[in-house]
Structure 1
Amino acid sequence: MISTRQPVYSHLVEGFGTVAITPVDPAADSALIHGWVTQERARFWGMGEASRELVQEIYEDVDRRTTHHAFIVSRDGEQVALFQTYDCAEDRVSECYEVQPGDVGLHLLIGPSKGAAEHGFTSSLLTVFLGFQFSVGKARRVIAEPDARNEKAIAVLVRNGFATGPEIELPEIDLPEVYLPAKKARLTVYDPRAAAASA
């Protein structure tokens, strides 16, 4: 199935390529996302045992919400990452820190590489996505809460200007439409004002 959704943002990164950000089409993208989230490398995403049908249902639920959004990120037309955002005030992370107006949460999953690892690949995608959030969205800060054991993800965020905060425990969510187990995470914050001051 081919998605009919169009990019909501694109940016040419010199020496890297054109990065495009397109809202997830649950029906068209579920097979791709399922292939990514069920790999061992994506274990911290928490969907390793999910069926393709469940993946589609999860992203249909995200698609219905006004507070949560999912995006496929492409580089020169090749789908390479899944990014999700959420209104921190409407998410379980709000129970773990003092949410400020304009706090937007971020989850990112880089798709499997088809060749050798490329230095700066994730940073280039993340830089474009942050640009999208601050220029098109209403973000004032971006909050990420990777699994506390995911040292690689935390290091990438820090290299891209996120400040590390405390280890937190995201509470269990057990509702008819969604179940999320409790998770120990590392709170990280990207504040463009602080980043500019330290540059």
Structure 2
Amino acid sequence: MPPTESGIDPESGIDPGSEETFGHPLEASPDNALDDTLDLHLPPDITALFSEELLSATPADSPSGGVLLDHIADWGPAATVAGPFQLVPVRIERDLPLVSAWMNDPAVAAFWELAGPQETTAAHLRAQLDGDGRSVPCLGVLSGVPMSYWEIYRADLDPVARYYPARPHDTGLHLLVGGVADRGRGIGTALLRATADLVLDHRPQCGRVIAEPDLRNIPSVAAFLGAGFRYADEIDLPAKRAALMIRDRVHRHLL
């Protein structure tokens, strides 16, 4: 079961190391999380990789472009207040150094527990990429720059479905924001809303987008509420007591 987001900045919607991942307990962010956080700047050669041609380069028949999640690679961008935002399925040979660097940020490592050599992150990514496509790791690319990591997953096919009344095609979100410069900018809630909208726009059989932040993480829960999710229940997961957050298709234009 994926971990959930770490602390979320009430202003941005996502705070240092914000996340939802596979089965790690969520705890309150350390008081010195910002001081310990690595400020990673992407070199021009990395950002240049995310050209328009590359954004469409994931093979449609790969798990990350497959039917269980309605071909995420083909979803295209969503408009946000910070610029166009797109989910780009991870390619290990291209993205591993960047994602591994994010995982070694102390503010992120405290929650995702994937700090260490690149192979640690690679094994986490391969478990999804070599699977049947029920969980797709993605880079969040904002205005052409990769700045966050997302896992879009079939909650109804995930172990989390044992802990709440899952419905067919329920889709879950896990995330982290990479660089310090992209935190605290007031865009977190907007990205959560945009990603939920991408799911609902491109997955016609999906009636709900879900998330399970740690119940103690009040700023995180507030960010999901701001993104149109409702506080549906409290659930006991193996590693935490979580707030079950749901964004319903039928209410998406009201919240």
Tell me the TM-score normalised to structure 2 length.
Answer: 0.65
Aligned match of 1:175: none
Equivalenced residue count is 186
Report if the CA contact (8 A) 2:193-2:228 is conserved: no
Bigger shift: 132-141 or 78-87? 132-141
Aligned match of 2:248: 191
> Which one of 75, 92, 107 corresponds to residue 159 of structure 2?
92
Shift of residue 36, structure 1, vs aligned partner: 1.6
RMSD: 2.4
Give structure 1 regions of 4+ aligned residues with deviation exceeding 4 angstroms: 1-5
The answer to which structure, 1 or 2, has the higher relative contact order (CA under 8 A, 6+ apart) is 2
Report if the CA contact (8 A) 1:12-1:18 is conserved: yes
Aligned match of 1:127: 193
Question: Is residue 17 of structure 1 aligned with residue 74 of structure 2?
Answer: no
Q: Which protein is richer in strand relative to its size?
A: 1
Deviations 1:100-132 (A, max 9, x none): 12211111212223277312x112222221221
Query: Any residues of structure 2 matched to 1:54-93 within 5 Å, and which?
Result: 54-65=120-131, 66-93=133-160
User: Partner amino acid for 1:41?
Assistant: A
User: Partner amino acid for 1:194?
Assistant: H
Deviations 1:154-189 (A, max 9, x none): 211011111113332223xxxxxxxxxx33322111
Tell me the TM-score normalised to structure 1 length.
Answer: 0.81
Aligned match of 1:144: 211
| 3-state secondary structure, aligned to 2:167 | coil
Shift of residue 81, structure 1, vs aligned partner: 1.1
> Which one of 49, 62, 67 corresponds to residue 115 of structure 2?
49
Question: Is residue 31 of structure 1 aligned with residue 97 of structure 2?
Answer: yes
Q: 1:92 to 1:135 in 2, by over 3 A?
A: same
Shift of residue 47, structure 1, vs aligned partner: 1.9
Deviations 1:52-110 (A, max 9, x none): 11101110111122211111111111111111111112212111111112211111212
Report if the CA contact (8 A) 1:39-1:48 is conserved: no
| 3-state secondary structure, aligned to 1:114 | helix
Q: Which runs of 5+ in 1 are unaligned?
A: 172-181
The sequence identity of aligned pairs, in percent, is 23
Shift of residue 11, structure 1, vs aligned partner: 2.6
Q: 1:184 to 1:30 in 2, by over 3 A?
A: farther
